[in-house]
Structure 1
């Protein structure tokens, strides 16, 4: 039995009040396990990692795609929150985006519009998530920046996400930063924005 398969302590049963906490725990567990083992993991393992029963998982996420979508939504929301923060800069946002690229295979595939090809979520939904990332970055693109236009920015993000491959998030981050350097683009600190725990994502 691997560490990821070991059952965690069950969360205390608090009835309906526990719903939000259970959902957050399931998303956090999915982020961890997707980063460790990819997207095609048993949902039962995610429920165990979250400390809830499988029935609780299915009440929140009726299938695998619903859970992956929830994790992707958090990736995108984190970038949007970073873009809306006081003093946000393109360099800082690229650091946040690079964190997600390095941590999340699903998010990287989203930026290349590949994820929809392997999952049942509609193309319009996936394209909307990608567009939200583009809009968050575009609003901080300074005049005269070497990327020039929003289209250049979107292409650069896709190129970097394509370069960010490797067996661990450390390797993927190193490759992503190397790609930004080759493009001559300055990137801020690679970090998760916001208050959610800095778990790897998937």
Structure 2
């Protein structure tokens, strides 16, 4: 869906423009990947490219803002004592199905130091759940948070290679396979 162009309302619209850009980036990156043209983001947000670059001078800054909600959701779930690793896996699976670009950022090897911060936040959120699952006997005692992050990356790589209609089935099949390796 393309937003209709808005009249320039000046600096008073900065907050609204920023929110529109972040929402548009989230959608565009989810649909087209992290390498989507930024002019597509500006167009969907209903702003000019100059406005986009005034708020976000580069792609990484925009990606960080677009996917902060994903990370915050993972962190909030991890902090909930009534939720466990399976709940986190469910959220991560939904996020990778909805937006392969987000998981590419979290698990990607080519890192900007700012993207490393997202990776570290997700890893920290998972660390407590992994420890709790090991203590409860839900995970093998030797499974580490880094191995869980690797599993998430492996599944995300598979999900990224199939069409949108096949993502859920691919993710579920991959988790089923990895589950047998991770669980006692």
Larger mean Cα displacement after TM superposition, 21-30 or 36-45: 36-45
Q: What is the SS of the residue equivalent to 1:183?
A: helix
The normalised TM-score by structure 1 is 0.72
Cα 1:40/1:112, change in 2 over 3 Å? closer
Cα 1:156/1:18, change in 2 over 3 Å? same
Contact 1:111 1:161 in 2 (8 A): no
Residue 39 of structure 2 is aligned to residue 40 of structure 1: no
Q: How does 1:120-139 map to 2 (within 5 A)?
A: 122=112, 124-139=113-128
Contact 2:21 2:45 in 1 (8 A): yes
Structure ranking higher on relative contact order (CA contacts 8 Å, 6+ apart):
1
How many residues align? The count is 174
Cα 1:18/1:83, change in 2 over 3 Å? farther
CA deviations on 1:116-165 (whole Å, 9 max, x unpaired) are 3xxxxx2x332221121111122123212225332332232222223223
Structure 2 unpaired stretches of 5+: none
Which residue of 169, 174, 185 corresponds with 2:169?
174
**C-alpha displacement at 1:36, in angstroms?**
2.2
Structure 1 unpaired stretches of 5+: 117-121, 186-202
Q: What is the SS of the residue equivalent to 1:164?
A: helix
Larger Rg: 2
CA deviations on 1:5-48 (whole Å, 9 max, x unpaired) are xx522357655443232212111111212222233333222112
Residue 145 of structure 2 is aligned to residue 145 of structure 1: no
Cα 1:37/1:159, change in 2 over 3 Å? closer
**C-alpha displacement at 1:183, in angstroms?**
1.8
Equivalent-residue separation in structure 2 for 1:165 and 1:13 (angstroms):
38
The normalised TM-score by structure 2 is 0.78
Larger mean Cα displacement after TM superposition, 169-178 or 88-97: 169-178
Larger mean Cα displacement after TM superposition, 9-18 or 64-73: 9-18
Q: How does 1:1-150 map to 2 (within 5 A)?
A: 7-11=2-6, 15-85=10-80, 87-116=82-111, 122=112, 124-141=113-130, 142=133, 143=135, 144-148=137-141, 149-150=144-145
Aligned-pair Cα RMSD in Å? 2.6
**C-alpha displacement at 1:57, in angstroms?**
1.0
Cα 1:80/1:41, change in 2 over 3 Å? same
Q: What is the SS of the residue equivalent to 1:80?
A: helix
